[in-house]
Amino acid sequence: MARHNKAVFLDRDGVIVHEVDYLVKASSLKLLRGSARAISALRGAGYKVIVISNQSAIARGMLSLKGLSAITSKLKVMLKAQGAILDAVYYCPHHPDFGGKCACRKPGQAMVRRAAKKFQLDLKASFFVGDTTTDLLTAKRAGIKGLLVRTGYGGKDGSYRIKPAKTFADLANAARWIVENSRP
Ligand SMILES: [Mg+2]
Ligand SMILES: [Zn+2]
């Protein structure tokens, strides 16, 4: 089947909300300035907006699935209050040191593949906005253009040696560039 939809994949922490070391309380969620408007603009330009996030706090026993679900609900409410909607949210709850390896933890490909299948995505026409080299490697392995933002870790996590296609101050600026460089 032809895959004709395009998406912007977003990391959550350090891209949409402020980076917090192990975000385990909904009250710790703080939207980064302009991120809600950026999500609206991307959807307005015809992109599915899909969150892909590693949440090993669950494997580490610091957060329950119920707690994660409450955090996701709060995030959606906060975004919706500013008119922004997410098409999908995917989490990896695992960590190799706590319960073994999995296929979904970024830079693993399982979350991207699941989304690509569900939304019939053309990954070459899609983007991945992240604040870590793990996000960039996830994008590269999937054949998606990886864009780095200077919020959150700002690419200084030191996990992988990889360069972004482009770097932006934040999601608002990345989204503006994506929209301006998209064909209708
Ligand atoms: Mg992040
Ligand atoms: Zn996983």
Nearest ligand, CA 13: 1
E strand or H helix that includes residue 177? helix 171-180
C-alpha distance from residue 165 to each of 82, 103, 137 (Å): 29, 25, 11
Residue 183 CA to ligand 2 centre (angstroms): 34
Q: How far is CA 156 from CA 44, 135, 148, 162, in A?
A: 31, 12, 11, 11
Q: What is the pLDDT of residue 2?
A: 64
- Residue 137: pLDDT band with limits 50, 70, 90: very high
| pLDDT surpasses 60 at 1 | no
Cβ count near 169 (within 10 Å): 12
Find the 44 Cα to ligand 2 centroid distance in Å: 31
Q: Which ligand is nearest to the CA of 148?
A: 1
Closest ligand to Cα 106: 2
Distance 3 CA to ligand 1 centre (A): 28
Active site residues: 11, 13
Those residues whose beta carbon sits under 5 angstroms from the ion ligand 2 are 92, 94, 102, 104-105
Mean pLDDT of 126-144: 98
Range list of H helices, 25-168: 35-44, 65-80, 110-119, 133-142
Dump pLDDT digits (tens) for 14-56: 999 999 988 999 999 999 999 999 999 999 999 999 999 999 9
Integer angstrom CA distances of residue 84 from 87, 120, 137, 139, 177: 10, 22, 27, 23, 18
Residue 153 pLDDT > 90: yes
Q: How far is the CA of 20 from the centre of ligand 1 (A)?
A: 9
* CA 66–ligand 2 middle distance (angstroms): 17
List the beta bridge partners of residue 52: 90
What's the average model confidence in pLDDT over 96-110?
96
Domain ranges of the chain: 6-180
Domain 6-180 has CATH 3.40.50.620: no
Burial label, 128 (beta-carbon count in 10 A; 0-12, 13-18, 19+): buried
Q: Does the structure show a pLDDT above 90 at 172? A: yes
**For residue range 63-85, what is the model confidence (pLDDT) as tens digits?**
999 999 999 999 999 999 999 99
Worst-scoring range by mean pLDDT, 22-26, 40-44, 126-130, 168-172?
A: 22-26
Q: Which pLDDT band holds residue 3 (cuts at 50, 70, 90)?
A: confident
Rounded to the nearest 10°, the torsion over CA 92, 98, 101, 105 is: 20
In contact, 37 and 49? CB cutoff 8 Å = no
Nearest to 103 by CA among 115, 112, 127: 112
> For residues 106 and 119, what is the distance between their CA atoms, to the nearest angstrom?
19
